[in-house]
Amino acid sequence: AQTVTQSQPEMSVQEAETVTLSCTYDTSENNYYLFWYKQPPSRQMILVIRQEAYKQQNATENRFSVNFQKAAKSFSLKISDSQLGDTAMYFCALINFGNEKLTFGTGTRLTIIP
Amino acid sequence: DARVTQTPRDKVTEMGQEVTMRCQPILGHNTVFWYRQTMMQGLELLAYFRNRAPLDDSGMPKDRFSAEMPDATLATLKIQPSEPRDSAVYFCASGLGAGATGELFFGEGSRLTVL
């Protein structure tokens, strides 16, 4: 079985600041993908960033980057220069290569304060 | 711009009524998933299909829920009879499988309220 844990139910940060969202996971597989999805009030689930477990280099997408620590099974998301449009629920998720089931964490509600 | 389309966006119904939610996956995607989102349980996987064949519906209450893919362009989730505890947002998602990018593309969800 695979599990994803997000220990921060809510976070808030001033606009333009940097914020880091935490995620830990557990899986018995060696090959998997990790994701961060964003869910704004419109409720659409939007992919923010993806990390392949076999890649040591941390993924980056513009202001979004991850800190992937495979041995520690940790996958945190850093948002730099935060913007009001970043206000949303953020979900960490895991999928094993041979399984295809995407397992989500419980989410972190992020509020960007003007 | 390819996207997953779900209908209805919002549905209010009375307990005991049948509810059918529909999903059009992205053309070419071979996996389709149904998720349910509630405040208490978060995102739960209900069922998923690969190449239209049901692979896993262990997350679905079998007595009242059913999921089908009549063809490659349509997935349905049916609840009969509906109960207040079924109130949730139901998401459909499609993808190319974990052997590709693993990424799932989500629809906008169907918010169901059962009175």
| CA A113 to chain CA centroid, nearest Å | 20
Q: Is A107 close to B42, i.e. CB distance below 8 A?
A: yes
Find which of A99, A102, A103 to mutate to test the B interface (most B CBs within 10 Å of its CB): A102
Q: Is B109 close to A44, i.e. CB distance below 8 A?
A: yes
Q: What digits encode the pLDDT tens for the residues B43-56?
A: 999 999 999 999 88
In this structure, which topology does domain B5-114 adopt according to CATH? Immunoglobulin-like (2.60.40)
Distance of alpha carbon A103 from alpha carbon A35, whole angstroms: 10
Nearest CB to B106; choose among A44, A106, A107: A44
Residue whose C-alpha is closest to residue A109's, from A82, A88, A80: A88
Distance of alpha carbon A14 from alpha carbon B97, whole angstroms: 38
Q: Which domains does chain A have, with CATH numbers?
A: 3-113 (2.60.40.10)
Q: Is A104 close to B104, i.e. CB distance below 8 A?
A: no
Residue A25: the pLDDT is 97
Residue B103: the pLDDT is 83
Q: What digits encode the pLDDT tens for the residues B28-41?
A: 999 999 999 998 88
**A74-79 and A64-69 strand pairing:** antiparallel
Residue B100: the pLDDT is 64
Q: Measure A97 CA to nearest chain B CA, in Å.
A: 5
pLDDT tens-digit profile, chain A (114 residues): 789 999 999 999 999 999 999 999 999 988 899 999 999 988 989 999 999 999 989 999 999 999 999 999 999 999 999 999 999 999 999 988 877 788 999 999 999 999
Distance of alpha carbon B45 from alpha carbon A100, whole angstroms: 11
Residues of A in contact with B31 (CB under 8 A): 100
User: Which residues, in sequence order, are CB contacts of B53 under 8 Å at separation 6+?
Assistant: none
- The conformational region for residue B86 under phi > 0 = left, psi -120 to 50 = alpha, else beta, is alpha
